[in-house]
Amino acid sequence: MEAHENKLIAEIETLQNNFTQTTDKLIKDVKRQDKIMTRSDKRQQKEYDELMALKIEIEETQREVVFTMGAIGESRSKETGNHVKRVAEYTYLFAKHYGLPEKECEMLKQASPMHDIGKVAIPDAVLNKPGRFNDEERAIMDTHAQLGYDMLKSSNRSLIKMASIVAYEHHEKWNGTGYPNQTAGEDIHIYGRITALADVFDALGSARVYKQAWDDEKIFKMFKEERGEHFDPKLMDIFFDNLDEFLHIRDTMKDVVQD
Amino acid sequence: MENLKFEATKYTPEINLDATGTISLVGKSYPENTFEFYAPVMEWMEKYFETSPADTTVVNMEIIYFNSSSSKLFFDFFDLLEENSSDNKVEINWIYDEENESAEEAGEDFIEDFEDLNIKLVTK
């Protein structure tokens, strides 16, 4: 009887021993899993942070490249000072009131300063000629729209693609008498229609070596005449309906007068 | 026993299992099917210790990037080495770039978990 009991106890003790070994192993394993998970979470956080920082870096680089290209275009045109910056702000405002999504408005603001980039390929003799262009020189000048488009069109970057449209179509007119393609009405991309108006508004209101700034009455009179001719009537209405906002940009981003 | 070699892929390291006693894993380890991928490695290691282990087995691991199932597998791998370390001399070099914090921490974890194993942290 005693022997039988002892045997059972021995079996139970073996079981207990095995159980302890197994649970020890399990506990060790669970601890390892926890450690792996903690490390993995930490790493994931770091990786995602790095990814986001890279994304911002890429976006900023793109912005900088685009802005620099705009400045290069500007240095080749007779516009100066804050012209491209104001055009950028005007295009944003037009895009917003036209109802484009915020992201697209923001992109247009960045892309529109590149509208004259094609001028880098216009010969100095033509570009810097004092006084009026003859027909031949005017024709050469007008190629800057096509030239700008050709420079940018092959890019896969959405911002550069947008800039190519802006460069291509910012001299088209609503009535189809612009260049390079005499496109009319809504066949002209909205980016082109917006930049056309923003560019002209700023150029007219700015004084240059060769011309005085137009006063507002003269600009508004011209705009009313050109509504549905040079310019998209809807954009023209947006301009007059939100005049204060446009004038505010002009006032806060004035060119510094140099003596 | 025959040597076994795996070329590196985009997601897996170069692996050299040399029966003269040098084991090396170099590269990245983040496959989708980690345990499946490493199954032949684990089999080879078991067979190696059962049949003809060298006097000293040197394991060089230089894993620059790894996913969490790979860390789990490395724990299993070190388990296997630890089980055989009483009858065999096993030296492990965990090699990493000093800027690679994840690799350094993993190495420290292994040392902490495997008191009986001779694991050296080697910075490049």
pLDDT beyond 60 at A257? no
pLDDT beyond 90 at A211? no
Least confident of A100-104, A124-128, B46-50, B67-71: A124-128
Q: Place A128 in a pLDDT band, splitting at 50, 70 and 90.
A: confident
3-class secondary structure, B104: helix
Where exactly are the structural domains of chain A?
49-252
pLDDT value, residue A254: 83
Closest Cβ opposite residue B106 in set A33, A37, A39: A39
DSSP conformation class of B46: H
pLDDT value, residue A19: 94
Q: Rounded distance, CA A242 to CA A69, Å?
A: 30
Pick the CATH number of B4-123 from 2.130.10.10, 3.30.750.24, 3.60.15.10, 3.40.50.300: 3.30.750.24
DSSP conformation class of B32: S
Non-local CB neighbours of A200 within 8 Å, separated by 6+ positions? A230, A231
Structure tokens at A87: 């055009």
Mean pLDDT, chain B, rounded, equals 95
The architecture (CATH level 2) of A49-252 comes to Orthogonal Bundle (1.10)
Q: How far is CA A60 from CA A90, A151, A154, B10, B24, in A?
A: 21, 21, 21, 30, 42
Instruction: Tell me: cis bond preceding A180? Omega within 30 of 0 counts.
Output: yes
pLDDT beyond 50 at A259? no
Spot the catalytic one: A85, A96, A109, A119.
A119
pLDDT beyond 70 at A3? no
Contact A39 B113 (CB under 8 A): no
Structure tokens at B51: 């049949």
Which element (helix H / strand E) includes B23?
Answer: strand B22-29
Which residues does chain B have within 8 Å of residue A27's beta carbon, measured at their own beta carbons? Answer: none
Q: Rounded distance, CA A164 to CA A154, Å?
A: 9
Q: pLDDT by residue (tens digit) across A52-98?
A: 999 999 989 988 888 888 888 777 776 666 888 899 999 999 999 99
Q: What is the 3-state secondary structure (H, E, C) of chain A?
A: CHHHHHHHHHHHHHHHHHHHHHHHHHHHHHHHHHHHHHHHHHHHHHHHHHHHHHHHHHHHHHHHHHHHHHHHHHHCCCCCCCHHHHHHHHHHHHHHHHCCCHHHHHHHHHHHHHCCHHHHHCCHHHHCCCCCCCHHHHHHHHCHHHHHHHHHCCCCCHHHHHHHHHHHHCCCCCCCCCCCCCCCHHHCCHHHHHHHHHHHHHHHCCCECCECCCCHHHHHHHHHHHECCCECHHHHHHHHHCHHHHHHHHHHCCCCCCC
Where exactly are the structural domains of chain B?
4-123
pLDDT beyond 80 at A256? no
Residues in chain B: 124
Which residues does chain B have within 8 Å of residue A43's beta carbon, measured at their own beta carbons? Answer: 102
pLDDT value, residue A131: 80
A173 catalytic residue (yes or no):
no
Is B115 touching A (CB cutoff 8 A)? no
> What residue of B is the nearest CA neighbor of A36?
B68
For the residues B34-47, what does the mean pLDDT come to? 97
Mean pLDDT, chain A, rounded, equals 90
For the residues B13-29, what does the mean pLDDT come to? 97
Closest Cβ opposite residue A32 in set B67, B75, B105: B75
Q: What ipTM was assigned to the predicted interfaces of this complex?
A: 0.83
Distance from CA of A14 to the nearest CA of B (A): 22
pLDDT beyond 60 at A2? no
Contact B71 A40 (CB under 8 A): yes
Instruction: Tell me the longest C-alpha to C-alpha distance in chain A.
Output: 127
Contact A40 B67 (CB under 8 A): yes
Which residues does chain A have within 8 Å of residue B68's beta carbon, measured at their own beta carbons? Answer: 36-37, 39-40
Q: Rounded distance, CA A77 to CA A96, Å?
A: 27
